[in-house]
Structure 1
Amino acid sequence: MADYQTIRPSGQTAGVGARSADIDAGLRAHMNKVYGLMSVAMLITALAAWAVAGLAVTDVPSQAVAQIGDHTYLTSFGSAIYMSPLKWVLMFAPLVMVFAFGALIPRLSVAAAQLFFYVFAAAMGISLSSILLVFTGASVVTTFLVTAIAFASLSLYGYTTKKDLSAMGTFLMMGVIGLVVASVINIFLASSALAFAISAIGVLVFAGLTAYDTQTIKNTYLQHAESGDSEWMGKSAIMGALNLYLDFINMFMFLLQFLGDRR
């Protein structure tokens, strides 16, 4: 009996160690999937923005309906999406899609949820295409690289830190709501001082959310690692990718207000 009790804990320890190794491997695979989905969505967004901006402008006056800069003109397509009421639809469509995604994902298959995510990324690219008309290409690329470095550092911190960041969640979400309200108000006020404050606070809020969301994705996986529910894991990876994608896009847009050179 004594021998049995001595051997049993050793077996349990080995079993626990094996399960721990499996969970660690599963976590790495899960995070790789999250970052992979996010990266594909970012590529779709960039391609959509580039394609739409390319169709919207021309340097041939005879093909233009409006001039927006030196030797830069809007085509009829550009006029329709940037100077008509359609611009409001394109501006707010991604926000509507985010809320719709949250409501629909429990009823969607993993494949359908992933497709929805990519369609959303394309809609975001169309919505953001106007920045390529406002800012120089070099400053857009520079700001993207700065954002990528900051994002990678913050996400790594969120993944590796032992500090519990959950207390930040409510505060940061209140900050997001405040930013949305202030941004909508400033559409009509057009205050440069308010725009500066929104951009400064926005960078800080989404920097915090990058670390917080990364830790949340990690902890959520660990809490459900032994469930064996592949469909849940697939949807969880998509939602995690969506959250990090939004953190990146918003941090990029706010940094662009500081680092971008206007045409």
Structure 2
Amino acid sequence: MPMPQPQSTAPMNSRAAASLRRAENISMSRAYGEMAVGLLVTAAVAYLTAVSGLLYAFIMATGMWGWIGLSVAQVLFAVFLGTRIMTMKTTTARVMFYLYAALMGFTLSSIFVAYSLPSILLTLVICAGFFFVLSMLGLTTRKNLMGMGSILLVALIFLIVVQVALMFLTPSNTALRIVAGIGIVLFAGLTIYDAQQTKRIFAAYQNQGTEVIKKVSILCALNLYLDFVNLFLYILDMVGNSD
């Protein structure tokens, strides 16, 4: 009597792989979509703050200490979000992210005072194209970049220390451009790293349910958002023209 032949598992494995790729693509699109909305909120708030005179009124009312306090609050808010998003409800996490984007917009409204509008728009286009290329590199490369995390963190801390020190000095334009160049290189590396990390995080959480995936999307969007904003600012420092 002939023995029954086992059915091939190839079609099943193929369907599972295709389903996994679709889920991964949807999750990645969600993260970059959240980031894009955050950037739109920042741009809108920055422009409206600048043209309404709200920035000038804030500086006149609070002086230098108000600006310092705002900057510190912004950093603390980012740290809070980065450590607590996964413990929040999805709606709360999304609202908090957009509130942070609005706060960033208020702070960034100062660029409309320092730079011309055509220069800002040109820098935005350059940054968007550069960010896209870097993201694609991070998402498609087969090289494991996770080992770069500690190196990039040390470099980021060093850059922050240098910039704080420069606040108390009178740096030359050359020194400022060197710092801007270092910042561009650093955040280019962080963009590639975070793009790959986003892909790996989604792979790790793929079986955790829709709500968890949504919160992971917001967390990854925050990281990518910060990469884009900082990359934009350093490129603006490098190539921007004063108003």
Q: TM-score range by the shorter chain?
A: over 0.9
Counterpart of 1:79 in structure 2 is: 60
Q: 1:101 to 1:77 in 2, by over 3 A?
A: closer
Q: Which one has a bigger Cα radius of gyration?
A: 1
Partner of 1:68: none
Q: Determine the structure 2 residue equivalent to 1:67.
A: none
Change (3 A) 1:182 1:20: same
- Bigger shift: residues 15-24 or 99-108: 99-108
The alpha-carbon distance between structure 1 residues 55 and 80, as it changes in their structure 2 partners (threshold 3 A), is farther
Matches within 5 A, 1:46-125: 46-56=43-53, 76-77=57-58, 79-80=60-61, 83-125=63-105
Identify the structure with bigger relative contact order (alpha carbons < 8 Å, sequence gap 6+): 2
1:176 correspondence with 2:156: yes
For residue 14 of structure 1, what is the amino acid of its counterpart? P
Q: Does 1:18 align with 2:18?
A: no
1:85 is paired with a residue whose SS is helix
**AA aligned opposite 2:116:** T
CA distance in 1, matches of 2:183, 2:211: 34
1:42 corresponds to which residue?
39
Task: Give the counterpart letter for 1:25 in structure 2.
Answer: R
Aligned-residue Cα RMSD (Å) equals 1.9
Question: Does residue 177 of structure 2 align to residue 196 of structure 1?
Answer: yes
Contact conserved, 2:86 with 2:212, CA < 8 A, in 1? no
Question: 1:188, CA displacement in angstroms?
Answer: 1.3
Which of 196, 201, 207 is the aligned partner of 2:188? 207
State the SS of the aligned residue for 2:143.
coil
Contact persistence 1:56–1:79 (CA under 8 A): no
Q: Output the amino acid matched with 1:92.
A: V
CA offset at residue 13 of structure 1?
2.2
Q: How many residues align?
A: 242
Instruction: Give the AA of the match of 1:180.
Output: I
Structure 1 distance, partners of 2:71, 2:17, is 46
Identity, % of aligned positions:
32
**Residue 164 to residue 138, structure 1, CA distance change in 2 (3 Å):** same
DSSP-derived class of the 1:188 partner: coil
CA deviations 1:169-199 (Å, max 9, x no partner) are 2111111111112111211123235433321
- Match of residue 145 from structure 1: 125
Asked if structure 2 preserves the Cα contact closer than 8 Å seen for 1:90 and 1:126, the reply is no
Residue 234 of structure 1: how far off its partner (Å) = 1.0
The answer as to whether partners of 2:138 and 2:193 remain within 8 angstroms in 1 is yes
Q: Give the unaligned 5+ runs of structure 1.
A: 58-73
Specify the alignment match of 1:245 in structure 2. Answer: 225
Q: Mark the runs of 5 or more structure 2 residues left unpaired by the alignment.
A: none
**Contact in 1 for aligned 2:50/2:110 (Cα 8 Å):** yes
1:195-252 C-alpha deviation (Å, 9 max, x unpaired): 3332111100110111111111111212232x14222211110011111110000000
Within 2, Cα distance between the matches of 1:97 and 1:2? 70
What's 2:199 paired with?
Answer: 218
Classify the secondary structure of the residue corresponding to 1:242: helix
* 1:64 corresponding residue in structure 2: none
Q: Which residue of 2 aligns with 1:229?
A: 209
